[in-house]
Amino acid sequence: MSELKNKKILLVITGGIAAYKSLELIRLLKKKGSLVKTILSKNAHKFVTPLSVSSLSQEKVYSDLFDPTSEAEMDHISLSRWADIILIAPATANTLSKISNANADDLASTVLLAADKEFFIAPAMNVRMWENKSNKNNVSILKNMGHEFIGPDIGDMACGEYGEGKMTEPPEILKHLEAKFKELKNNNGLKALVTAGPTKEFIDPVRYITNKSSGKQGYEIANLLKRSGFNTTLISGPTQLDSIKGVNTININSAKEMFDAVIENLPVDVAIFSAAVADFKVKDISETKIKNKENYNLSLEKNIDILKHVSNHNSLRPKLVIGFSAETNDIIENSQKKINEKNCDWLIANDVSNQEIGFDSDFNEVSILYKNGEIEKISKDKKSVIANKIVKKIVSNLE
């Protein structure tokens, strides 16, 4: 049975000459047993007709943002909620610009802006348009948002030029969609646990020890695990980040609270410990605010090492345990000692001395140290891109 059987596909057709391929795409999807609803942009009408599209999809064609009949049912919201997957094929340069810049001036762009799921995007445009710096920037924005591009391919174009920009052929697009649904099915039932952010270790009711962790990297990983089909729990220290829809988020303050929450939510299949947990806590927390004195000695004691405890647990140890190593110097050397000491499967090391990456930044640059001694570097990029690469490796490992 095809992975596409009974799957709900919202196909957005925009105004490029490759729009004729969308008719074949609908035919193949229906043949696989998919339910297909379509949105035609204003310019798409110049290449395919609503009658041909509806004949193949056996559904109403949506196109007018101000259709009183349709908007009485809030189509710009309901269409995206109905779909399992949103596919934009062909996606013109103008469409990429609209959705990357939150422009909503027709039904197609309004539905995409209101969507609560990732898009599959099959671009189609002239090679010079595809290579244009502004277009490349739009593509980068959309990839950073977690949307997946299918193509474009290289070949002869309708304009007579040759290069990258051709829309991927419908059978290949179907292969990508089937692979996505297969991944979701394989991961369905798998559990993931992610820790993120800093911890607070109180000195008195108003003062505490903490660090500069923003939690962004852990949140990105949790979001992508959820979108890859994992039942995901995020245990978060204090951050300024919004909660992630579909992720079970548990908010904590101290390392002890994080440890208790982790143990309570085991067993899982994979655990990613990206939180910057304070190594020390105050031995005796004052019940009242400590008055300003010329000298004050603060007595500290070690917090429990959550990563080490879980990695060495006989019954609750996940199949895959991944730690993070935030270092300011000798990054690889210090991290190699940690992976052996803590007994985790992977250790993701990053430099937090650089203000442009790591703590409190949207960017990161990491090295993944594996238990077998291998090291793999992921160059500087958005934390969302880093998370995407890490999650793909997790999925591949568990398979």
Per-residue model confidence as pLDDT tens digits over 247-288: 999 999 999 999 999 999 999 999 999 999 999 999 989 889
Contact 123, 135 (CB under 8 A): no
Domain around 388: 188-398
Contact 248, 233 (CB under 8 A): yes
d(CA 114, CA 336): 45
The stretch 139-164 carries a mean pLDDT of 86
**Last residue of a domain, which of 185, 220, 254?**
185
d(CA 194, CA 99): 30
pLDDT at 68: 58
For residues 51 and 146, state if they share a domain.
yes
Q: How many domains does the chain have?
A: 2
Question: Does residue 214 sit within a domain?
Answer: yes
What is the overall mean pLDDT for the chain? 91
Nearest to 323 by CA among 387, 274, 383, 377: 274
**Catalytic (active-site) positions:** 159
For residues 274 and 235, state if they share a domain.
yes
Q: What CATH number does residue 61 fall under?
A: 3.40.50.1950
pLDDT at 393: 94
The stretch 99-103 carries a mean pLDDT of 91
Element (H, E) at 290: none
Instruction: Tell me: cis bond preceding 90? Omega within 30 of 0 counts.
Output: yes
**Last residue of a domain, which of 136, 153, 185?**
185
31: pLDDT strictly greater than 60: yes
For residues 179 and 199, state if they share a domain.
no
For residues 133 and 209, state if they share a domain.
no
For residues 227 and 347, state if they share a domain.
yes
For residues 178 and 196, state if they share a domain.
no
Give the least confident one: 58-72, 161-175, 219-233, 346-360.
58-72
For residues 219 and 259, state if they share a domain.
yes
Under the banding of pLDDT at 50, 70 and 90, the label for residue 355 is confident
For β-strands 300-302 and 248-251, DSSP reports them as: unpaired
For residues 311 and 280, state if they share a domain.
yes
Question: Does residue 1 sit within a domain?
Answer: no
pLDDT at 384: 87
The stretch 123-141 carries a mean pLDDT of 93
Q: pTM of the entire structure?
A: 0.77
Contact 64, 42 (CB under 8 A): no
pLDDT at 72: 46
Nearest to 274 by CA among 143, 387, 398: 387
Q: What CATH number does residue 273 fall under?
A: 3.40.50.10300
pLDDT in tens, 67-96: 655 544 556 678 888 999 999 999 999 999
Contact 120, 86 (CB under 8 A): yes
Question: Does residue 27 sit within a domain?
Answer: yes
